[in-house]
Amino acid sequence: MIDYLIVGSGLSGIAFAEWALQNGKTIHVFDNKSQNSSVIAGGLYNPVILKRFSEVWKSQEQINLALPFYSALEQKLQCVLDYKIPIFRKLFSVEEQNNWYVASDNPNLKPFIASSILYKDFHGIDAPYGYGEVVQSGYINTSLLVKTYQDYLNRFKFLSEESFDYSQLDISNEFPVYKNVYYKHVVFAEGFGLHANPFFSQLPLDGTKGELVLIKCPELKLDAIIKSSVFILPLGNDLFKVGATYNWQDKSAEPTEAGKQELLTNLKSILNLDFEVVAHLAGVRPTVKDRRPLVGSHPKFTRLHVLNGLGTRGVMLAPFVAKALFESIENKTPLDENLDIRRFKKLKWD
């Protein structure tokens, strides 16, 4: 019998698989590569909501868990994943400067934001009101993480690169059975693919399409991530990732001309340099209207579990929520009510 069947190997599926393996559990993962939001994500970890200069929920706890988690994965996978780099929020007025000073006095934000306004001259970017600097920030190379972790799973025959057939899951006995193999637990981490899941499809997952462009701009020299109407993330070799759009109607993962033009218009409002677009990417983020993840166990089929809804902050959230679900299953540790799917009390479960 295998301890865990995990459906999905994006950020949440990887995080849960890793917690399980670190605790001596056996796993088998299914992934048909139909969901690509983890692969094309910006990968930023940022403990501050820069639109309002406010704290991300449980940001310090998430950072304290995530950074050692990714560091351990770097050692395991023998690759560089974590790029620690400050985020500079471009300020647009004296009022925004004042708001930044007020935020810097907030005890919950002090560990994350510099108290003084930073004036730095980046060729091609005008910032007369300066920047607010976010520390304890950076980005994870999510596409490399997904690829190398799937390679690792394949090496030990832990991964089946095929669609999971829900109709083949037999839950009539004490332990779930899938294609004649017994499992103690099944964890669904399918991202936006949750809508096809007959056990958890009633959860209020509301996917948000995001588009990014990769540009080449030899004249732009950045040693930080610039955040304005879009973010500009330096990747090296004169390449920069620029994102992202938010579309709540279109649920396809195909890049659109409208999305591209929105990105380029916003980029040109910040950057006064020539650049070349070398790639255009799109994916559907698994988002929830209350901006909290979907974590927990099915109220009737208690060996079926869900790990989803990480939204735009998946890099920070994934290790945190995966650990919470693992401890809930193994140790009966109560889930935070902000995560637990039982917060949706009006749902009817089959």
Q: What is the pLDDT of residues 120-134, one digit of tens each?
A: 999 999 999 999 999
Q: Residue 94 pLDDT > 80, yes or no? A: yes
Name the β-bridge partners of 297: 305
Q: How far apart are CA 335 and CA 304, in angstroms?
A: 15
Quote the pLDDT of residue 212. 96
- CATH fold for domain 2-41+143-204+289-343: FAD/NAD(P)-binding domain (3.50.50)
Give 33's pLDDT tier (boundaries 50, 70, 90).
confident
Percent of the chain with pLDDT over 90: 92
Q: pLDDT digit string (tens) for 101-113? A: 999 999 999 999 9
Mean pLDDT of 254-283: 96
Q: How far apart are CA 27 and CA 29, in angstroms?
A: 7
Q: Residue 39 pLDDT > 90, yes or no? A: no
Which residue type does 213 have? V
Note whether 283 and 207 are within 8 A (CB). Answer: no
Q: How far apart are CA 195 and CA 207, in angstroms?
A: 10
Q: Which CATH architecture has domain 208-285?
A: 2-Layer Sandwich (3.30)
Q: How far apart are CA 133 and CA 228, in angstroms?
A: 12
Note whether 310 and 11 are within 8 A (CB). Answer: yes
Mean pLDDT of 82-91: 97
The four Cα atoms 189, 6, 61, 22 give a dihedral, to 10 degrees, of: -170
Mean pLDDT of 267-296: 95
Q: Which residues are CB-contacts of 303 (< 8 A; sequence separation ≥ 6)?
A: 171, 175, 176, 183, 184, 185, 186, 297
Residue 286 CB neighbour total at 10 angstroms: 28
Q: How far apart are CA 54 and CA 139, in angstroms?
A: 20
Q: Residue 74 pLDDT > 90, yes or no? A: yes
Quote the pLDDT of residue 274. 97
Q: How far apart are CA 177 and CA 1, in angstroms?
A: 10
Q: How far apart are CA 294 and CA 241, in angstroms?
A: 29
Quote the pLDDT of residue 35. 75
Mean pLDDT of 134-159: 96
Angle ∠(80,141,283) on CA atoms, nearest 5:
160
Q: Residue 180 pLDDT > 90, yes or no? A: yes
Give 337's pLDDT tier (boundaries 50, 70, 90).
very high
Quote the pLDDT of residue 22. 97
Note whether 202 and 297 are within 8 A (CB). Answer: no
Q: How far apart are CA 190 and CA 199, in angstroms?
A: 12
Which has the closest alpha carbon to 38: 73, 57, 11?
A: 11
* Domain edges within the chain: 2-41+143-204+289-343, 208-285
Q: How far apart are CA 148 and CA 154, in angstroms?
A: 10
Give 350's pLDDT tier (boundaries 50, 70, 90).
low
